[in-house]
Amino acid sequence: MRYIASMETVTVGLGFVGSERGRIAALYWEAFGRKLRPGFTNEAIGQAAVKSGLRSDRMFVARRGATVLGICGFCDIDAGAVDLTWSSLRQTLSISASLRAGISLVALARVPRAESLVLDGLCVDSAARGLGVGTALLNAATNYALQDGKQSISLSVIDNNPRARALYERLGFTSVDGGSLGLLSAVYGFASYTTMELEVNK
């Protein structure tokens, strides 16, 4: 089944084809590579692990024609948008590199919730920002959550991304929780995060 939201010439659908994997991995790494980088010996290895671990069934993709403009991943009971579990990491990394990545990335793991659709990475190509692509992706996620019987959508936004937080607040998300990384802030590139939630089944 497809979940589609349209915005002028931009469409949003669930999933991607194999030829789009590299483009989507590059977008994901551009947006979240600073947080993921400590888990890998270099950026090329990190990007390869992300590319291998992308889950088509856990990602909404915004396109204009055949061009990918943005993505919005989500978690389900068994997996998130990017599978960085041991078995997935071992497909591209050595045992020692997989151990490093697994230990380093555990602090960033999303926890799925039965009553809420937990988003796992929303990013838009810098050239397409301000065109409503992020809003279209969130609308598609909302439709999916409603059809899946969820009560809400939840996400985490880091302290140094005020633009994203402002978008979420405009769309009706409210702060429900948060946390601080303390001494680990220098490792991951942000000091704190806020968990935000949008009720979709009122």
At residue 90, the pLDDT reads 78
How many domains are there within the chain? Answer: 1
Domain of residue 146, CATH code: 3.40.630.30
pLDDT band at 51 (very low <50, low <70, confident <90, very high): very high
Question: Average pLDDT for residues 95-106, to the nearest whole number?
Answer: 70
Question: Does the structure show a pLDDT above 90 at 183?
Answer: no
Q: In 3D, which of 162, 140, 120 has the Cα closest to residue 60?
A: 140
How far apart, in whole angstroms, are the C-alpha atoms of residue 147 and residue 167?
23
- Structural domain boundaries enclosing 134: 5-199
Helix residue ranges, H only, the chain: 21-36, 43-53, 86-89, 95-105, 133-147, 162-170, 185-188
At residue 100, the pLDDT reads 73
At residue 143, the pLDDT reads 93
Phi-psi region of 130 (alpha: psi -120 to 50; beta: other; left: phi over 0): left
Question: Average pLDDT for residues 159-174, to the nearest whole number?
Answer: 87
